[in-house]
Amino acid sequence: MNESVTASLLANLKQYWGYPGFRPLQREAMTLVMSDRDSLVVLPTGGGKSLCYQVPAISRDGMALVVSPLISLMKDQVDSLQAVGVSAACINSMQTAQNKRDVAALIRRRELKLLYIAPERLVQPQTIEFLQGAGVSFIAIDEAHCISQWGHDFRPEYRQLRCLKTAFPNAAVHGYTATATEQVRADIAEQLGIADAEILVGSFDRPNLQYRVERRTDPTGQLQRILQRHKGESGIVYCISRKNVDSTSHSLNRIGFKTLPYHAGMSDEDRRKNQDAFIDEDVNIIVATVAFGMGIDKSNVRFVIHAEMPQSLENYQQESGRAGRDGLEAECCLLYAARDVDTWEFLMKDTEDPALRQAGQRAVSAMQQYCVSTRCRHRQLVEHFGQTLENDNCGACDFCLNEMQPVDEPMILGQKILSCVVRQGERFGAAYTAQVLRGSKAKRIVENGHEKLSTWGLLKDEPEPQLRNWFDQLLSQGFLRQVGEYNCLEVTPLGRQLLKGQATPMLLRLQVAESAQPVDDQWQGVDRDLFEELRAMRNRLAVQKQVPPYIIFSDATLRDLARQRPTHGGVLTRIHGIGAQKQKEFGAAVLQTIEEWCQSHNLATNIEIQSPVVASSGGRSRSSQASGSASAEYFDLFEQGLSIEEVANQLDRTVDTVSKYLGEYIKAYRITDIDPWIPPLLQKLVKQAIGQVGCERLKPVFEHLEGQVDYPRIRIVATAWEIEQSNATDDE
């Protein structure tokens, strides 16, 4: 794609959305749209999929058709586009006849850039005939996984979309989804009739999400503990059944939380009312079945809790991914119990297609394995989708945050548990065995004579939830298996080796998380009280405009405002997420709120976050040695705040190459704040190593850290550290 087209895309991205640069794979996806090549784009929730077709739609002639499965999703998208000054509309069954005539008139006058429409309406002959004369530029299929019977949310009406290639032969077709395995991707391409489509697959990892898994023992108490970490924040609690949604919502309301339920058993009016209350932030917590979520474009969901195990890892990726769409930190907690598997198997028993039923059983089994495993959660999720995690420690799950500590003598502990199973004749389940190990004198145990076993009371000081979790860990590692109708425990050949002292399990002791803060503190420099004041301002503006608050500004934008505290308009468009239209419409209210707050609280304003060496028109001024064409290409992207990986992806270079240019950039402008590229805790780790071995060469630092940190990141920290030392010397 020529440079002028790229420049046009970037200009529109900045002007309308206030974003300074592309996120990973956005440039490539937009290139395919601009060059009329069919494509299938898989990007995680929050990865900016919508922009992949919205920006090209306003960057080229004609009107883009966007197929969307839900009315609420269409409305959110159209409201968001209109809020930034883009001409967009939708056609759906909730509109009046006059609304539809108004939209049709806009289409005839060629005044729309994007038209959102449901699949079943689009494929109607009269709709196709009308749109064939409307100058359709391309067709975007949102939530494209709905077309695949192997996907997690199959919708039969999507199958009809294959006709679009014939009906609009000059319009390329582009599918977009957040979650699709290789099998689902192939099925999407086949069903849409775009077998030769370019397929772009982004990383399935969401580093801003913290994953935690707990065995469900005290549902209300566990939910209460998690929700206490998120006071005043928006979140979703998922349950499997309608009955559990109602009972969970009632229980939480009874202990002081304000929640609303949402499920298919409610009337359309009640569902709509509760959904709107959540979106408009009249209530922060929605308790729902999986019927809730796909149509929600709410960016500031700070937590998603699964009160019961989801059906598959695909479902979990999609549902948990509704947290942190704005790129800020969010928490995803999963509470599971063995009976969740039974529930899903019961719900699948009426599936007529044997292949689909078997696929469903495999999916439930994989989900169960995720729950009981003793490995990094992020790693497991990306590996399920055929990818690998670059870092050994994700720094954002219960395992990598050391909330699961290794026991002191795992072999001995494992032998105690397995010995009890053997002495019971391998005829009892985990719950019963846990009672024996804890020294229970329950009637059944006494009747069986198991209070006389040498293993009775052997682990009497351990709480039952911890014991049950160790059973899960031994099952997941193959030392035990469950057999028969009643899931009796049986020792495997590997378990026999453990009993002989020839194998050692990994057994972890769970610890309750006290916070949900990520490694990279995304509140750094933010005045939290001003942030809350800006939230209140946002809510007032949302009521005036009759749109959800997050459509006015995202939380990321509010944090940036509370960090930089601008009081004059020239700075506003440098704030993340503020384009020309939002500056024009809301700029005065924002500046007044910030100025009045800062004056009354004696706070400094117009904080310069960037390097002290700045140009008058924004950004760092380039020195003569940095103006070479090769360096400038990298430096422009670093100025936009792109990460090392994003720059590498955009310029098709290795991370090592990009890190060298980043080192030059840091030296050129003597930057010491490298938080945009390296998490603070990682910086601290490297600096401690430098304090021990120096930084004349990188290899000693790498070896001192035992390979925990790669060379590119060591190089960046070392460069900034040298500048800090030089500055300190100059001050002396």
Of residues 358 and 65, more confidence is placed in 65
Q: Give, as one character, the DSSP assignment of residue 487.
A: T
What confidence score (pLDDT) does residue 609 get?
55
Q: Copy the structure tokens of residue 597.
A: 């707050």
Of residues 223 and 510, more confidence is placed in 223
Same domain, residue pair 255 and 139: no
CB 179 within 8 A of CB 317: yes
What confidence score (pLDDT) does residue 110 get?
93
Quote the strand ranges of 461-574, DSSP E.
480-483, 488-491, 508-510
Q: Copy the structure tokens of residue 527.
A: 């005045």
Q: Is the per-residue pLDDT at 72 higher than 80?
A: no
Residues in the chain: 732
Contacts of 245 (CB under 8 A, 6+ apart): 239, 261, 262, 263, 287, 288, 289
Q: Is the per-residue pLDDT at 567 higher than 70?
A: yes
What confidence score (pLDDT) does residue 615 get?
28
Buried b (16+ CB within 10 A) or exposed e, 235-261: bbbbbbebebbbbbbebbeeeebebbb
Is 516 among the domain residues? no
Residue 693 pLDDT class (50, 70, 90 cuts): confident
Average pLDDT over residues 447-476: 90
Asked which of 349, 371, 403 is the last residue of a domain, the reply is 403
Q: How far is 260 from 237, CA to CA, in rounded Å?
A: 10
Gyration radius (Cα) of the chain, Å: 28
Contacts of 466 (CB under 8 A, 6+ apart): 509, 510
What confidence score (pLDDT) does residue 520 get?
45
Of residues 566 and 4, more confidence is placed in 566
Q: Copy the structure tokens of residue 92.
A: 């759906």
CB 450 within 8 A of CB 456: yes
What confidence score (pLDDT) does residue 292 get?
75
What confidence score (pLDDT) does residue 623 get?
33
Q: Is the per-residue pLDDT at 293 higher than 70?
A: no
Is 522 among the domain residues? no
What's the burial of 271, exposed, middle or buried (CB within 10 Å: 0-12/13-18/19+)?
A: buried
Neighbours of 232 (CB within 10 A): 9
**Mean of the per-residue pLDDT values of the chain:** 86
CB 291 within 8 A of CB 67: no
Asked which of 201, 217, 252 is the last residue of a domain, the reply is 201
Residue ranges in 329-454 assigned as alpha helix (H): 338-348, 354-372, 377-384, 410-423, 430-437, 443-447
Same domain, residue pair 392 and 482: no
Same domain, residue pair 22 and 121: yes
Is 613 among the domain residues? no
Give rounded-to-5 percent helix, strand, coil for the chain: 50, 10, 40
pLDDT tens, residue by residue, 170-185:
999 999 998 777 888 8
93-107, 301-315, 601-615, 713-727: range with highest mean pLDDT:
301-315
Same domain, residue pair 587 and 672: no
Average pLDDT over residues 558-574: 86
Q: How far is 87 from 83, CA to CA, in rounded Å?
A: 10
Of residues 533 and 1, more confidence is placed in 533
Same domain, residue pair 217 and 153: no
Same domain, residue pair 257 and 213: yes
Same domain, residue pair 110 and 13: yes
Residue 294 pLDDT class (50, 70, 90 cuts): low
Long-range Cβ pairs for the range 493-497 (8 Å, 24+): 495/418
What confidence score (pLDDT) does residue 516 get?
54
Cross-strand pairs, 88: 114
Asked which of 555, 584, 600 is the last residue of a domain, the reply is 600
Identify the CA nearest to 79 among candidates 578, 587, 545: 545
What confidence score (pLDDT) does residue 614 get?
28
Q: Copy the structure tokens of residue 732.
A: 């002396």
Is 344 among the domain residues? yes
pLDDT tens, residue by residue, 149-205:
765 567 778 888 988 989 999 999 999 998 777 888 888 999 898 988 999 998 888
Q: What percent of the chain has pLDDT over 70?
A: 92
Same domain, residue pair 414 and 391: no
Is 620 among the domain residues? no
Of residues 89 and 571, more confidence is placed in 89
Q: Is the per-residue pLDDT at 628 higher than 70?
A: no
Identify the CA nearest to 36 among candidates 172, 174, 166, 198: 172
Q: Copy the structure tokens of residue 119.
A: 């699949």
Q: How far is 690 from 705, CA to CA, in rounded Å?
A: 10
Is 410 among the domain residues? yes
Question: CATH number, domain at 334?
Answer: 3.40.50.300
Residue 504 pLDDT class (50, 70, 90 cuts): very high
- The DSSP code sequence of 249-265 is HHHHHHTT--EEEE-TT
Identify the CA nearest to 81 among candidates 42, 122, 112, 123: 112
Question: CATH number, domain at 558?
Answer: 1.10.150.80
Residue 521 pLDDT class (50, 70, 90 cuts): low
Name the domain count of the chain.
5
Q: How far is 194 from 184, CA to CA, in rounded Å?
A: 14
Q: How far is 353 from 332, CA to CA, in rounded Å?
A: 33
Tell me, rounded to whole angstroms, the distance of Cα 348 from its chain centroid. 28
Cross-strand pairs, 305: 237, 333
CB 297 within 8 A of CB 279: no
Q: How far is 591 from 589, CA to CA, in rounded Å?
A: 6
Average pLDDT over residues 306-335: 91
Of residues 422 and 264, more confidence is placed in 422
Same domain, residue pair 593 and 713: no
Q: Is the per-residue pLDDT at 720 higher than 60?
A: yes
Structural domain including 639 reads 634-731
Average pLDDT over residues 459-480: 89
Same domain, residue pair 191 and 213: no
Q: Give, as one character, the DSSP assignment of residue 622.
A: P
Q: H or E segment at 679?
A: none
